[in-house]
Structure 1
């Protein structure tokens, strides 16, 4: 059980700080899909792939004092920032997590917008379909996001970029 918690803590450690619940969900999902052994199950939800297990794991880590969740009021909504605490750092130092290349991928993803990561994760969710079908699904399911064909192409290129980073030769 705690191995999966440690993987998540390691992800937060190497990311530095992640701003936004949606962004955290998308980063872990994308990392899982490109190569990394995250165990959380995801279902398609309003903002793309979502994991109730991941939400509960984050909550547990916050309750244990290993993660810090900072709630900030931004205009008419709240935004959450996540970072590893000193206790979390100590726990990780005693529980080795071996995921080479995860840091490069997560730092890269953390520099992207949550909107773009939502597109990337949606494309990965439907990776069993042909590109044209995925594009159609994006235009249908993500109509309010107004993604353009260029953004969809950039998302495909980004997936390839991450896959290359995850498994360098």
Structure 2
């Protein structure tokens, strides 16, 4: 029953701490798209791929005492920090999750900005389209973000690096 919950806990534990709900959503989505076994369904939303299922699982994990969510006032908005609790760590020790090389990928993603991960996840969301069509979608759907051609190319490069990290080490 809690296998998918354990995978999310494993992802947060592997990252030590994830700052921001948007970043957490993008990291899980990107990991899923590079073939890690996350099963949450994602739909395209204001900030790119978003999963209501993931939001509910995070809430459940916080309510069970397995995840710590700290809400901080940051300028005109609230930011959330996620870490594994001691109970969460004990639960993970008893329910081992095997996702080889995930730590490396998540650590690398966690060092990126939420804005960049939003771009990367959007590129992955439209991966059935040509590079030109993806760029067109980004310029249309993400016009407020003002992404450049260069950033889109960096996103493609980054995806290649992550897929390589996921396969080796």
TM-score, with length taken from structure 2: 0.99
Matches within 5 A, 1:38-53: 38-53=38-53
1:152 aligns with 2:152: yes
CA shift digits 1:117-145 (9 cap, x unpaired): 00000000000000000000000000000
Runs of 4+ in 1 over 2 A off after TM superposition: none
- Following superposition, the deviation at residue 63 of structure 1 comes to 0.0
Secondary structure in 2 matching 1:5 = helix
- Following superposition, the deviation at residue 35 of structure 1 comes to 1.5
CA shift digits 1:22-55 (9 cap, x unpaired): 0000000000001200000000000000000000
* 2:95 equivalent in structure 1: 95
* 1:31 equivalent in structure 2: 31
Matches within 5 A, 1:110-129: 110-129=110-129
The number of equivalent residue pairs is 169
- Following superposition, the deviation at residue 78 of structure 1 comes to 0.3
Unaligned stretches of 5+ in structure 2?
Answer: none
* 1:64 equivalent in structure 2: 64
* 1:133 equivalent in structure 2: 133
Unaligned stretches of 5+ in structure 1?
Answer: none
Matches within 5 A, 1:66-81: 66-81=66-81
* 2:168 equivalent in structure 1: 168
